Amino acid sequence: MSSLQPTTQGLAADPGALNALKYGAAREGDGGKGALKEAAKQFESLFMRELIKSMRDATQKSGLLEGQGSDLGTDLLDQQLAVQLSGLPGGLSESIERQLSRQMNAAQAKAGTAADGSGNAAADASSANTASTASAGSAPEFKPLKRSDLRNLLKYAPAAPATGAQASAATDQTSAAARRALSPSQRHAAFVQQHHQSAATVARESGIPAGYMIGQAGHETGWGKSEIRMRDGTPSHNLFGIKATSSWKGKVAEVTTTEYINGVPRKTTARFRAYDSYADSFRDYARLITRSPRYDKAMDQIGSVNGFASSLQRAGYATDPQYAAKLSRAINMTLSLQRAQISAQN
């Protein structure tokens, strides 16, 4: 049995984690593969920490509840979330593990050739493969990955903390990086974390649970992968697919979308509302649901995920005949992620 404990189950601030990793690597009988896997998780955790930090920096703050104490608590929570989200199947750690394994195998093969002048065929083949990337007659140098290597590889971090109009661009840049680098489960968790503050504020004002709104926003946008964009490619910040009718006086994004006519999907061009921020999108959605008589029954079913989703579909929120079932799954997954994040915080 491996002597290493998965880092995803530990504390982010555990001072003994590195010593445990070194001790386990020395005792492992699998050539260090177990330690390599854990090291890859640690590197992914560093990436996740920077990703969450970029999201925090790109999010406008109210200033009412901000302070040194809240900043410390938020930082500790983000560190723990980074640990919890690392090492999941299909995540970045698997790619890092493969890269480290190739580098270690090349270094070990070269070392074996140096110890034995003739070497064996396997070592010679491995050395020959790696020699093409190094100067003639020189041994390939194994260098551990650094945090800067991850930044250069993934190109996800904004140059500096942004405010105002720059904050929207930075948030959009971070979302694009999440789409490329994260597994689906990690992308869902990052989406929930990104929009938690805006949704919680609107939830207190409207009575619509934050998890319901984030879940519907995730379903409508493919968890950030398919957001509605303006003609110039900038984000419309429309998280809920609300269309721009004749009464809408704000900005408009005109895009091609799929509508279901008599149960048959068809491509059509539609005009959607555009906002200055994601917070504005949450507020406009809440106004639509709470003030429009057609959604009164949805508000009456606010205590039931399935009831709320079914009422929205019956009221004509979307034309997809499977909308209620899809929305229910998205909301339930969001609620589970929220519980996991609260558990990590405690």
pLDDT tens for 41-87 read 777 777 777 777 767 666 656 555 566 666 777 777 777 777 777 77
- Residue 97: pLDDT above 80? no
Length of the chain: 346
Q: Could you report the per-residue pLDDT of 7-30, keeping only the tens digit for each?
A: 445 554 455 555 665 555 555 555
Q: What is the pTM of this model?
A: 0.53
Task: Render 216-279 in DSSP notation, one character per residue.
Answer: HHHHHHTTTTS--B-TTS-B---SS--B--TT--SEEEEEEEEEEETTEEEEEEEEEEE-SSHH
Cα(113)–Cα(124) distance, rounded to whole angstroms?
7
| Percent of the chain surpassing pLDDT 70 | 59
- Tell me the three state secondary structure of residue 141: coil
Contacts of 270 (CB under 8 A, 6+ apart): 243, 254, 255, 256, 257, 259
Average pLDDT over residues 229-239: 92
User: Could you tell me which of 96, 94, 90 has the C-alpha nearest to residue 145?
Assistant: 96
To which residue do tokens 């998890």 refer? Answer: 211
pLDDT at 320 over 80: yes
Question: 312 with 295: CB under 8 angstroms?
Answer: yes
For residue 134, pLDDT beyond 50: no
Residue 160's pLDDT is: 39
Q: Are 250 and 273 in contact (CB under 8 A)?
A: yes
Q: Which residue has the higher pLDDT, 219 or 40?
A: 219
* pLDDT reported for residue 3: 42
Q: Which residues are catalytic?
A: 259, 284
Measured CA to CA in angstroms, residue 177 lies from 20, 47, 125, 223, 268 at distances of 32, 11, 37, 13, 29
What are the residue ranges spanned by the domains of the chain? Answer: 1-164
For residues 115 and 203, which has the higher predicted lDDT (pLDDT)?
Answer: 203
Q: Tens digit of pLDDT for each residue in 255-286?
A: 888 788 777 788 888 899 999 999 999 999 99
Q: pLDDT band for position 127 (50/70/90)?
A: very low
Q: Is 258 exposed, middle or buried (0-12, 13-18, 19+ CB in 10 A)?
A: exposed
What does the pLDDT read at residue 6? 43
pLDDT in tens, 139-198: 334 444 444 444 444 443 333 344 444 445 555 555 555 455 667 888 898 899 999 999
> Phi and psi of 301, rounded to 5°?
-100, 20
Helix axes 210-221, 323-345, angle to 10 degrees: 120
What is the distance between the alpha carbons of residues 203 and 190, in angstroms, rounded to a whole number? Answer: 19
CA 206 centroid distance within chain: 27
User: Which of these ranges, 56-65, 201-210, 333-342, has the smallest mean pLDDT?
Assistant: 56-65
Distance (Å, rounded) from C-alpha 186 to C-alpha 12?
Answer: 17
Name the average pLDDT for the chain.
Answer: 74
Inform me whether the pLDDT recorded for 310 exceeds 70.
yes
Look at residue 123 and tell me whether its pLDDT is greater than 50. no
